[in-house]
Amino acid sequence: MTSPLVRIQREDFSLQDEIDALSTGRADIGAIVSFTGLCRDEAGTLAALELEHYPGMAEAEIARVGAEAAARWPLMGLVAIHRYGLVKPGEQIVLVLAASAHRRPAFEAADFMMDYLKTRAPFWKREHRADGTLGGWVEAKADDDDAAKRWEQAP
Amino acid sequence: MSTATATAAAGTRTVRIVYFAWVRERVGLPEETLDIPADLATIADLVRWLKARGEGYEAAFTDEKIVRAALDHVHAKPQAPLGSAREIAFFPPMTGG
Protein backbone atom coordinates (compact mmCIF):
# COMPACT_ATOMS: atom_id res chain seq x y z
CA MET A 1 0.00 0.00 0.00
CA THR A 2 1.13 3.55 -0.61
CA SER A 3 1.22 5.78 2.44
CA PRO A 4 -2.06 6.65 4.12
CA LEU A 5 -3.84 9.72 2.79
CA VAL A 6 -4.22 12.21 5.64
CA ARG A 7 -6.02 15.53 5.34
CA ILE A 8 -6.68 18.10 8.05
CA GLN A 9 -9.12 20.68 6.74
CA ARG A 10 -11.67 23.29 7.73
CA GLU A 11 -14.12 22.42 4.95
CA ASP A 12 -16.55 19.51 4.78
CA PHE A 13 -15.80 16.31 2.85
CA SER A 14 -17.78 13.89 0.71
CA LEU A 15 -17.76 10.20 1.60
CA GLN A 16 -18.63 9.19 -1.97
CA ASP A 17 -15.92 11.39 -3.49
CA GLU A 18 -13.32 9.84 -1.19
CA ILE A 19 -14.47 6.29 -1.98
CA ASP A 20 -14.35 7.09 -5.70
CA ALA A 21 -10.85 8.55 -5.39
CA LEU A 22 -9.71 5.40 -3.60
CA SER A 23 -11.30 2.81 -5.88
CA THR A 24 -11.73 4.27 -9.36
CA GLY A 25 -9.63 2.55 -12.00
CA ARG A 26 -8.79 -0.54 -9.98
CA ALA A 27 -10.51 -3.90 -9.50
CA ASP A 28 -8.40 -5.55 -6.81
CA ILE A 29 -10.21 -4.02 -3.82
CA GLY A 30 -12.90 -6.26 -2.35
CA ALA A 31 -13.92 -4.22 0.68
CA ILE A 32 -13.98 -0.60 1.77
CA VAL A 33 -15.06 0.12 5.34
CA SER A 34 -15.89 3.73 6.18
CA PHE A 35 -16.42 5.47 9.50
CA THR A 36 -17.92 8.95 9.64
CA GLY A 37 -18.00 10.87 12.93
CA LEU A 38 -20.72 13.51 13.25
CA CYS A 39 -21.36 16.37 15.65
CA ARG A 40 -24.28 15.59 18.01
CA ASP A 41 -26.63 18.32 19.28
CA GLU A 42 -26.56 16.92 22.87
CA ALA A 43 -30.36 17.07 23.21
CA GLY A 44 -30.56 20.52 21.70
CA THR A 45 -28.06 22.16 24.08
CA LEU A 46 -25.15 22.41 21.65
CA ALA A 47 -24.83 25.11 18.97
CA ALA A 48 -21.44 23.99 17.64
CA LEU A 49 -18.20 22.26 18.47
CA GLU A 50 -14.99 24.21 18.06
CA LEU A 51 -12.11 21.95 17.08
CA GLU A 52 -8.61 23.15 17.82
CA HIS A 53 -5.64 21.21 16.45
CA TYR A 54 -1.86 21.23 16.42
CA PRO A 55 -0.92 21.93 12.81
CA GLY A 56 1.95 19.77 11.65
CA MET A 57 1.71 17.27 14.47
CA ALA A 58 -1.92 16.38 13.66
CA GLU A 59 -0.95 15.26 10.15
CA ALA A 60 2.23 13.55 11.38
CA GLU A 61 0.55 11.64 14.20
CA ILE A 62 -2.37 10.39 12.07
CA ALA A 63 0.14 9.33 9.40
CA ARG A 64 2.07 7.38 12.06
CA VAL A 65 -1.14 5.63 13.18
CA GLY A 66 -1.95 4.91 9.54
CA ALA A 67 1.49 3.42 8.95
CA GLU A 68 0.95 1.13 11.96
CA ALA A 69 -2.39 0.00 10.52
CA ALA A 70 -0.79 -0.63 7.13
CA ALA A 71 1.92 -2.73 8.78
CA ARG A 72 -0.66 -4.75 10.69
CA TRP A 73 -3.29 -5.48 8.03
CA PRO A 74 -3.05 -6.14 4.26
CA LEU A 75 -4.55 -2.83 3.17
CA MET A 76 -5.01 -1.48 -0.33
CA GLY A 77 -5.84 2.02 0.76
CA LEU A 78 -6.27 4.08 3.90
CA VAL A 79 -7.77 7.56 4.19
CA ALA A 80 -8.20 9.78 7.26
CA ILE A 81 -9.78 13.23 7.08
CA HIS A 82 -10.31 15.36 10.18
CA ARG A 83 -11.91 18.80 10.24
CA TYR A 84 -11.04 21.73 12.48
CA GLY A 85 -12.82 24.99 13.22
CA LEU A 86 -16.53 25.30 13.99
CA VAL A 87 -18.67 22.24 13.27
CA LYS A 88 -22.43 22.36 13.78
CA PRO A 89 -24.69 19.53 14.98
CA GLY A 90 -25.40 17.12 12.14
CA GLU A 91 -22.22 18.03 10.30
CA GLN A 92 -19.33 15.66 9.68
CA ILE A 93 -16.15 15.82 11.77
CA VAL A 94 -14.00 12.87 10.78
CA LEU A 95 -13.77 10.22 8.07
CA VAL A 96 -11.76 7.02 7.96
CA LEU A 97 -11.70 4.67 4.96
CA ALA A 98 -9.89 1.34 4.94
CA ALA A 99 -9.69 -0.75 1.79
CA SER A 100 -8.59 -4.36 1.49
CA ALA A 101 -9.21 -7.48 -0.57
CA HIS A 102 -11.51 -8.82 2.14
CA ARG A 103 -13.81 -7.32 4.75
CA ARG A 104 -12.12 -8.38 8.01
CA PRO A 105 -8.87 -6.42 7.60
CA ALA A 106 -10.86 -3.40 6.39
CA PHE A 107 -13.20 -3.46 9.43
CA GLU A 108 -10.36 -3.95 11.89
CA ALA A 109 -8.08 -1.31 10.37
CA ALA A 110 -10.87 1.30 10.36
CA ASP A 111 -11.68 0.47 14.00
CA PHE A 112 -7.98 0.68 14.97
CA MET A 113 -7.58 4.01 13.15
CA MET A 114 -10.50 5.59 14.99
CA ASP A 115 -9.45 4.28 18.42
CA TYR A 116 -5.95 5.71 18.01
CA LEU A 117 -7.08 8.85 16.27
CA LYS A 118 -9.20 9.69 19.32
CA THR A 119 -6.43 9.13 21.84
CA ARG A 120 -3.33 10.24 19.88
CA ALA A 121 -4.27 12.84 17.26
CA PRO A 122 -3.78 16.34 18.72
CA PHE A 123 -7.31 17.74 18.49
CA TRP A 124 -9.37 19.36 21.25
CA LYS A 125 -13.11 20.03 21.25
CA ARG A 126 -14.82 22.93 22.96
CA GLU A 127 -18.57 23.39 23.24
CA HIS A 128 -20.50 26.41 22.06
CA ARG A 129 -23.88 26.17 23.76
CA ALA A 130 -27.27 26.82 22.20
CA ASP A 131 -27.96 29.53 24.82
CA GLY A 132 -25.07 31.57 23.36
CA THR A 133 -22.53 30.89 26.09
CA LEU A 134 -19.13 29.34 25.57
CA GLY A 135 -19.02 25.91 27.16
CA GLY A 136 -15.99 24.12 28.50
CA TRP A 137 -13.36 21.98 26.81
CA VAL A 138 -14.63 18.45 26.28
CA GLU A 139 -12.92 16.05 28.70
CA ALA A 140 -11.13 12.96 27.45
CA LYS A 141 -12.97 9.73 28.21
CA ALA A 142 -11.41 6.74 29.93
CA ASP A 143 -13.51 4.58 27.57
CA ASP A 144 -11.49 5.89 24.63
CA ASP A 145 -8.21 4.98 26.31
CA ASP A 146 -9.57 1.51 27.08
CA ALA A 147 -10.68 1.11 23.45
CA ALA A 148 -7.20 1.99 22.20
CA LYS A 149 -5.57 -0.44 24.66
CA ARG A 150 -7.45 -3.36 23.07
CA TRP A 151 -5.02 -3.19 20.17
CA GLU A 152 -1.93 -3.52 22.36
CA GLN A 153 -2.45 -7.25 22.73
CA ALA A 154 -0.79 -9.43 20.12
CA PRO A 155 -3.03 -9.69 17.05
CA MET B 1 14.42 35.36 34.92
CA SER B 2 17.50 37.19 36.07
CA THR B 3 19.27 33.92 36.78
CA ALA B 4 18.53 32.59 33.31
CA THR B 5 19.59 35.85 31.70
CA ALA B 6 22.80 36.00 33.69
CA THR B 7 23.81 32.54 32.57
CA ALA B 8 22.68 32.99 28.97
CA ALA B 9 26.14 32.87 27.54
CA ALA B 10 27.15 29.97 29.74
CA GLY B 11 24.30 27.56 29.36
CA THR B 12 20.99 28.26 27.73
CA ARG B 13 19.42 27.21 24.51
CA THR B 14 16.53 28.59 22.53
CA VAL B 15 13.37 26.57 22.07
CA ARG B 16 9.89 27.27 20.78
CA ILE B 17 7.15 26.26 23.18
CA VAL B 18 3.56 25.91 21.96
CA TYR B 19 0.39 25.49 24.02
CA PHE B 20 -3.06 24.25 23.08
CA ALA B 21 -6.65 24.32 24.38
CA TRP B 22 -6.98 25.08 28.12
CA VAL B 23 -3.23 24.91 28.62
CA ARG B 24 -2.93 27.76 26.09
CA GLU B 25 -5.68 29.72 27.84
CA ARG B 26 -4.13 29.39 31.29
CA VAL B 27 -0.62 30.26 30.14
CA GLY B 28 -2.14 33.15 28.18
CA LEU B 29 -0.05 32.57 25.05
CA PRO B 30 -0.33 30.28 22.02
CA GLU B 31 3.45 30.05 21.71
CA GLU B 32 6.69 31.64 22.82
CA THR B 33 10.37 31.40 22.15
CA LEU B 34 12.38 30.99 25.33
CA ASP B 35 16.01 30.64 26.34
CA ILE B 36 15.89 27.72 28.71
CA PRO B 37 18.72 26.53 30.95
CA ALA B 38 20.72 23.90 29.13
CA ASP B 39 20.77 21.75 32.26
CA LEU B 40 17.02 21.07 32.11
CA ALA B 41 17.21 17.39 31.24
CA THR B 42 13.62 16.22 30.89
CA ILE B 43 10.14 17.46 30.08
CA ALA B 44 9.31 17.27 33.81
CA ASP B 45 12.33 19.54 34.52
CA LEU B 46 11.06 22.05 31.95
CA VAL B 47 7.57 21.98 33.50
CA ARG B 48 9.03 22.78 36.93
CA TRP B 49 11.02 25.64 35.41
CA LEU B 50 7.96 27.01 33.59
CA LYS B 51 5.82 26.84 36.75
CA ALA B 52 8.23 29.25 38.44
CA ARG B 53 7.62 31.82 35.68
CA GLY B 54 4.20 32.95 36.88
CA GLU B 55 0.63 32.26 37.91
CA GLY B 56 -0.58 31.34 34.45
CA TYR B 57 2.02 28.60 34.13
CA GLU B 58 1.30 27.46 37.67
CA ALA B 59 -2.41 27.19 36.80
CA ALA B 60 -1.71 25.36 33.53
CA PHE B 61 0.50 22.77 35.21
CA THR B 62 -1.34 22.44 38.54
CA ASP B 63 -1.83 18.76 37.86
CA GLU B 64 1.32 17.84 35.96
CA LYS B 65 0.06 14.33 35.32
CA ILE B 66 -2.82 15.59 33.20
CA VAL B 67 -0.89 17.81 30.80
CA ARG B 68 0.58 15.98 27.81
CA ALA B 69 3.70 16.93 25.89
CA ALA B 70 5.25 16.49 22.49
CA LEU B 71 8.83 16.97 21.29
CA ASP B 72 9.09 18.06 17.66
CA HIS B 73 5.58 16.73 16.89
CA VAL B 74 6.02 13.37 18.66
CA HIS B 75 4.24 12.46 21.90
CA ALA B 76 6.64 12.23 24.85
CA LYS B 77 6.38 11.22 28.53
CA PRO B 78 7.36 13.54 31.40
CA GLN B 79 10.61 11.64 31.95
CA ALA B 80 11.62 11.87 28.28
CA PRO B 81 14.89 13.75 27.72
CA LEU B 82 14.48 17.09 25.98
CA GLY B 83 17.47 16.23 23.81
CA SER B 84 17.85 18.69 20.99
CA ALA B 85 14.11 19.26 20.49
CA ARG B 86 13.39 22.64 18.91
CA GLU B 87 9.62 22.70 19.39
CA ILE B 88 8.06 21.55 22.65
CA ALA B 89 4.27 21.38 22.97
CA PHE B 90 1.99 21.15 26.01
CA PHE B 91 -1.70 20.29 25.79
CA PRO B 92 -4.61 18.54 27.55
CA PRO B 93 -5.56 14.92 26.80
CA MET B 94 -6.85 14.80 23.24
CA THR B 95 -10.54 14.82 22.37
CA GLY B 96 -10.64 14.57 18.59
CA GLY B 97 -12.42 12.05 16.41
Closest residue in B to A125 (Cα–Cα): B95
| Count of residues making up chain A | 155
Q: Determine the average pLDDT of the residues in B16-41.
A: 97
Residue B2 lies in a domain: no
How many domains does chain B divide into?
1
| Interface predicted TM-score of the whole assembly (ipTM), two decimals | 0.92
Greatest C-alpha distance within chain A? 51
B90 CB neighbours in chain A (<8 A) are none
| CB pairs < 8 Å spanning A and B | 71
Report whether B94 contacts A116 (CB < 8 A). Answer: no
Residue B4 lies in a domain: no
- Domain-embedded: residue B75: yes
**How far does CA A47 lie from the centroid of its chain?**
22
Query: What is the rounded CA–CA span in Å between residue B7 and residue B1?
Result: 10
CATH number at residue A26: 3.90.1170.40
Give yes or no for a contact between A123 and B18, defined as CB atoms under 8 angstroms apart: no
Residue B22 pLDDT > 50 = yes
Task: Tell me whether residue B97 is in a domain.
Answer: no
- In A19-84 the beta strands, taken as DSSP E runs, fall at 31-38, 46-53, 75-83
CB A136 within 8 A of CB A127: yes
Mean pLDDT to the nearest integer, A61-72: 97
| Residue B96 within any structural domain of the chain | no
Is A78 exposed, middle or buried (CB count within 10 Å of its CB: 0-12, 13-18, 19+)?
buried
Mean pLDDT of A21-26: 96
Quick one: closest CA in B to A49, which residue? B96
- Considering only the beta carbons, identify the residue of B18, B70, B95 that sits closest to A140: B95
CA A5 → CA A16, A53, A105, A132, distances in Å? 16, 18, 18, 37
Whether residue B1 is predicted with pLDDT greater than 60 in this model: the reply is no
> B19 to chain A, minimum CA–CA distance in Å?
9
CATH number at residue B49: 3.10.20.30
Q: What's the confidence (pLDDT) of residue B6? A: 46
Look at residue B1 and tell me if it is in a domain.
no
Instruction: Tell me the residue range of the domain where A55 lies.
Output: 5-152
Q: Report residue B10's pLDDT band, with 50, 70 and 90 as the boundaries.
A: low
Counting residues of chain A whose pLDDT is more than 70, the rounded percentage is 99
User: Which residues of chain B have a CB within 8 Å of the CB of A96?
Assistant: none
Residue B4 has pLDDT above 60, yes or no: no
How would you classify the pairing of strands B87-91 and B12-19?
A: parallel
What pLDDT was estimated at residue A66?
Answer: 97
Residue B30 CB partners (closer than 8 Å, separation 6+)? B18, B19, B24
The domain containing residue B64 runs over which residues? Answer: 12-91
What is the tally of structural domains in chain A?
Answer: 1
Residues of chain A with C-beta less than 8 angstroms from the C-beta of B96: 51, 53, 82, 94, 117-118, 121-125
Whether residue B35 is contained in a domain is answered as yes
Residue B83 included in any domain: yes
